[in-house]
Each structure stands twice: as structure tokens, then as C-alpha cells.
Chains A and B, each alone.
Chain A
């Protein structure tokens, strides 16, 4: 079956630090990969996505590259801000799962001034 594994959190960084949140997956077929962000007290928002191998998704300074050879989709940002403090979820959607999303466990990010 499909599964997503994210790095254990929480992650605490100082403002302007470099961020990496690791995400690896197992899936049948050729999945699409997503990063969602959940700010405190809010629902999930799509941050970025990639639909095929070697695609790079990017948004708001965040990037993630779909690596089929390592089955990974690591999230990176060169300089985090306090406003990036949130929970980040890696997710996949495979054609074999009838549109269902499989989520990782989420990584809590806290950025201090």
C-alpha cells in the first residue's frame, strides 16, 4: 500500500536559517506528490506539488523536487521567517488509490526571531 514518512519533529530554527524537511514515500504506480501547510487554528493549504519525476514544485520560497530514484520529496527553504511557523504535511496521490491522499505524520516547524 501507499505510505509517506516524514522526518520527526518538532523542528526549531532561528529566522533566516535554512530549512529541510525530509519526506520519503512508497507507492504503487506513479504518484503525484504534495506539500500542505497548516497554520495554527486553520485548515490545510496546498503549498506546492509535483506530478512526475524530476519536477520541482515551488511556492513562497519553498521548493521540493520529485526524486523517483530515491522516492523522496524533501521540502527546502533557504531563509525561513517567523511566519513560516506551522505544521507541514507531505502527501501523495496515486492513480491506484482513486484520488485519495495519503499523508505523512506532519512536522511541526517553529521559527524564532
Chain B
């Protein structure tokens, strides 16, 4: 399976600042990556689908101007939480679609705490 990393693993920021989270596919080129958020003791909610070289596709209810996604290369996608507020505190997880398109491989997640 694919190896996916995320950076940082844990970030604390002040309300109103922006935070960038990186998702890297370490061992193969990924044309499609997904971004999820997970609230405590709840399931994963898909935020957006990130396609290399094109605009991300956001799920209904997700503000594209607040959660900026850039998939600039086949190994890197970034999620920027702009003007973060305490309600944005969550666990953000990215995944990479495998070569066959059948399986997703997940990063370890980034825990964001906005004070």
C-alpha cells in the first residue's frame, strides 16, 4: 500500500491566523487526494477531493474560501485553514487514492487546536 505522511502532526494557533497542513504521498504519484475532518468520537467527513493540476471539488457545506486546497504536484497536497476559529479545531486527515483507484491510504492525521 501507499505511504502517506502529514505535517504537522499537531498544531496550536490563535484565532484569526491561518494554518497550512501538508499531505505527501511518499512512494508513488497520486493524481487524487482526499481531505477529511474528524470530530472526537465521530466518523470521518469528506471535505474535498483534490486533483493534481486542477481545482479541488468541495463537498456540500464546506467553505472553499475558508479551506484552501492546493494539489500542485503528484506527491503533495496542502490544506490551508484561513482565519481559523475555535470551531475549526478538529482532526484533519488526508488520503491518497491507490494506483488502481480501488483503495484509499490514509495519512496519520493533523490535530488542530484553535485558541
Closest to A44 in B: B106
Interface string of B47-90 (1 = CB under 8 A from A): 00100000000000000000000000000000000000000000
Contacts of A32 in B (CB 8 A): 102
Beyond A89-B44, A106-B43, whether A101 also contacts B102 by CB under 8 A is no
Q: How far is the CA of A88 from the CA of B44 in the complex (A)?
A: 12
**Which A residues form the contact surface with B (CB < 8 A)?**
32, 34, 36, 42-46, 49, 51, 89, 93, 98-101, 103-106, 108
Evaluate contact between B43 and A93: CB separation under 8 angstroms: no
Beyond A42-B109, A44-B106, A45-B106, whether A100 also contacts B1 by CB under 8 A is no
**Which B residues form the contact surface with A (CB < 8 A)?**
1, 4, 6, 32, 34, 41-44, 46, 49, 93, 95, 97, 101-109
Q: How far is the CA of A49 from the CA of B104 in the complex (A)?
A: 11
Q: How far is the CA of A99 from the CA of B109 in the complex (A)?
A: 20
Contacts of B1 in A (CB 8 A): 46
Closest to B57 in A: A98
Q: How far is the CA of A5 from the CA of B34 in the complex (A)?
A: 22
Interface majority SS (helix, strand, loop, mixed), chain B: strand
Evaluate contact between B43 and A99: CB separation under 8 angstroms: no
Closest to A45 in B: B106
Evaluate contact between A46 and B103: CB separation under 8 angstroms: yes
Q: How far is the CB of B41 from chain A (nearest CB, A)?
A: 7
Contacts of A108 in B (CB 8 A): 41
Evaluate contact between A99 and B101: CB separation under 8 angstroms: yes
Evaluate contact between A43 and B109: CB separation under 8 angstroms: yes
Choose among B4, B34, B42, B109 the residue that contacts A106 (Cβ–Cβ < 8 A).
B42
Evaluate contact between B43 and A101: CB separation under 8 angstroms: no
Evaluate contact between A43 and B107: CB separation under 8 angstroms: yes
